[in-house]
C-alpha cells in the first residue's frame, strides 16, 4: 500500500466515523453503553469481607458467597451474553444505514471517480464501521471489567477476550450487510437478513436434536449444510462464556468456520461491487 492509497483509505475510515457521529449512531451507542456501566456501578453492591468471604448483593438480595471469583465470573458471563446479543442487534441496526449510505445515487459516482480502487473503498468503509462499533464495545467491556475489578478484586482476562469475540461476530454480520447493500441497495433487507441469521443459527446449533426430528435423509443433509455454512453465532457465544469462566474450549471449529463464512461473503460483496454499474 503506497502513501496515496494509505491516505485515501484513512480518509474513508475517518469519514465513516464522522458520519457515525453526525447520524448520532456513535453517541447513541455510547449513551447506551454508559447507561449500562452506571447500572452496573450502582445496582451491584459487592462487599468483600476478609478475602474469600463476602456478601454480594444484587438487586437488593443478599447472596452469601464463599467464592467471589466464581460469582463475579458468572455475572460477567451473563453480561457478556447479553451484550453479545443485544449489543450486536443495536450495532446491526446502526450499521445498516451507514453502509447503504455510500451506495446512494449522487454520492457513489463521486466516490468511484476518485483514483481509489473499489476494493479499497468498500474495505475502508467496512473497517471504519467495525472500528466505530469496536470503540463502543471496548468501552463497555473495559469499563465493566474495571468496575468489577475495583469492587471485587477479580481481574480475569476472559471477560476482556469476550469483547474480541463480539467484535469478530459483528464483523461477520457486517459482511452480510455489505453484501446485501451492494446487491440490493437496501438497509431494511440487510437488517432483516442479519436478524434472521441471529435467530436461525441458535436453532441450527441444536443440530443433534433437530436431526432426530427430521424424517428424511435429504432434509438432514440440508440441515447439516446449513449448519456448517452459516455463521455459528450461538456456539461462539458459548466459547466466550467458557473463556470467562476459565473453562477449556472444546473446539474452535465454530470460530474458524464463521471466519470463513465472513471472508467469503465479503469477497462476494467486493466482487459484485466491482462489477456493478452506477
Distances (CA, A) of 35 to 50, 130, 154, 161: 31, 22, 23, 22
Exactly one of 61, 66, 113, 216 binds another protein (CB under 8 A); that residue is 113
Residue 47 pairs in a beta bridge with 55
Those residues whose C-beta lies under 8 Å from the C-beta of residue 72, and which sit 6 or more positions away, are 46, 148, 152, 154, 156
Choosing from 38, 47, 104, 196, the residue that interacts with another protein (CB under 8 A) is: 104
Site string for another protein, 6-25 (x = CB under 8 A): -xx-xxx-xx--xx-xxx--
Q: Closest by alpha carbon to 99, among 6, 163, 15?
A: 15
Nearer Cβ to another protein, position 23 or 220?
A: 23
Considering only residues 41, 111, 161, 268, which one is a binding residue for another protein as defined by CB under 8 A? Answer: 111
Q: How far apart are CA 70 and CA 117, in angstroms?
A: 51
CB of 127 to another protein, least distance (A): 15
Number of residues that bind another protein (CB under 8 A): 33
Of these, 35, 43, 58, 114, which contacts another protein (CB under 8 A)?
Answer: 114
E strand or H helix that includes residue 102: none
Q: How far is the CB of 114 from another protein (least distance, A)?
A: 4
Q: Cβ distance 140 to 34 under 8 Å?
A: no
Which residue in the set 40, 41, 48, 108 belongs to the binding site for another protein (CB under 8 A)?
Answer: 108
**Which of residues 58, 70, 107, 253 is near another protein by CB under 8 A?**
107
Kindly state the smallest distance separating residue 167's Cβ from another protein, in Å: 25
Contacts (Cβ under 8 Å, ≥6 apart) of 153: 48, 68
Least distance from C-beta 136 to another protein, angstroms? 19
Contact range with another protein by CB under 8 A, out of 46-54, 112-120, 139-147, 220-228: 112-120
C-alpha cell at 69: 471469583
| Least spacing, CB of residue 18 vs another protein, in Å | 7
Report, in Å, the least distance between residue 116 CB and another protein: 6
116 interacts with another protein by CB under 8 A: yes
Q: Which is nearer to another protein, 48 or 108 (CB)?
A: 108
The per-type count for the chain, helices as H runs and strands as E runs, is 12, 3
State which of positions 247-276 bind another protein (CB under 8 A).
275-276
Site for another protein in 26-85 (CB under 8 A): none
Note whether 145 and 160 are within 8 A (CB).
yes
Alpha carbon distances (Å) from 186 to 43, 109, 169, 189, 206 = 41, 18, 21, 6, 31
Between 1 and 49, CB nearer to another protein = 1
Task: Tell whether residue 131 is a contact of another protein (CB under 8 A).
Answer: no
CA distance 111 to 171: 23
CA distance 257 to 228: 7
- Other CB atoms within 10 A of residue 52 CB: 11
Binding positions for another protein, rule: CB under 8 A: 3-4, 7-8, 10-12, 14-15, 18-19, 21-23, 101, 104-117, 275-278
Amino acid at each position: 500500500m503506497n502513501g496515496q492509497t494509505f491516505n485515501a483509505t484513512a480518509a474513508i475510515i475517518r469519514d465513516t466515523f464522522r458520519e457515525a457521529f453526525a447520524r448520532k449512531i456513535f453517541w447513541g451507542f455510547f449513551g447506551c453503553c454508559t447507561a449500562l456501566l452506571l447500572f452496573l456501578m450502582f445496582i451491584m453492591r459487592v462487599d468483600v469481607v476478609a478475602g474469600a468471604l463476602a456478601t454480594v448483593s444484587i438487586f437488593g438480595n443478599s447472596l452469601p458467597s464463599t467464592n467471589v471469583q466464581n460469582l463475579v465470573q458468572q455475572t460477567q458471563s451473563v453480561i457478556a451474553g447479553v451484550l453479545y446479543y443485544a449489543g450486536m442487534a443495536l450495532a446491526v441496526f446502526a450499521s445498516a444505514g451507514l453502509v447503504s449510505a455510500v451506495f446512494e445515487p449522487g454520492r457513489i459516482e463521486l466516490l468511484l471517480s476518485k483514483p481509489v480502487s473499489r476494493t479499497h473503498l468498500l474495505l475502508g468503509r467496512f473497517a471504519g464501521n467495525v472500528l466505530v462499533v469496536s470503540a463502543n464495545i471496548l468501552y463497555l467491556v473495559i469499563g465493566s471489567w474495571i468496575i468489577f475489578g475495583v469492587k471485587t478484586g477479580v481481574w480475569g482476562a476472559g471477560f476482556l477476550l469476550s469483547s474480541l469475540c463480539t467484535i469478530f461476530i459483528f464483523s461477520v454480520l457486517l459482511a452480510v450487510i455489505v453484501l446485501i447493500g451492494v446487491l440490493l441497495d437496501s438497509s431494511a433487507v440487510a437488517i432483516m437478513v442479519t436478524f434472521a441469521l441471529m435467530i436461525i443459527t441458535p436453532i441450527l446449533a441444536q443440530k443433534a436434536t433437530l436431526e432426530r426430528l427430521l424424517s428424511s435423509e435429504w432434509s438432514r443433509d440440508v440441515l447439516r449444510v446449513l449448519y456448517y455454512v452459516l455463521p455459528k453465532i450461538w456456539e461462539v457465544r458459548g466459547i466466550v462464556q467458557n473463556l470467562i469462566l476459565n473453562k477449556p474450549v472444546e473446539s474452535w471449529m465454530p470460530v474458524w468456520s464463521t471466519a470463513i463464512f465472513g471472508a467469503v461473503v465479503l469477497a462476494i460483496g467486493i466482487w459484485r461491487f466491482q462489477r456493478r454499474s452506477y
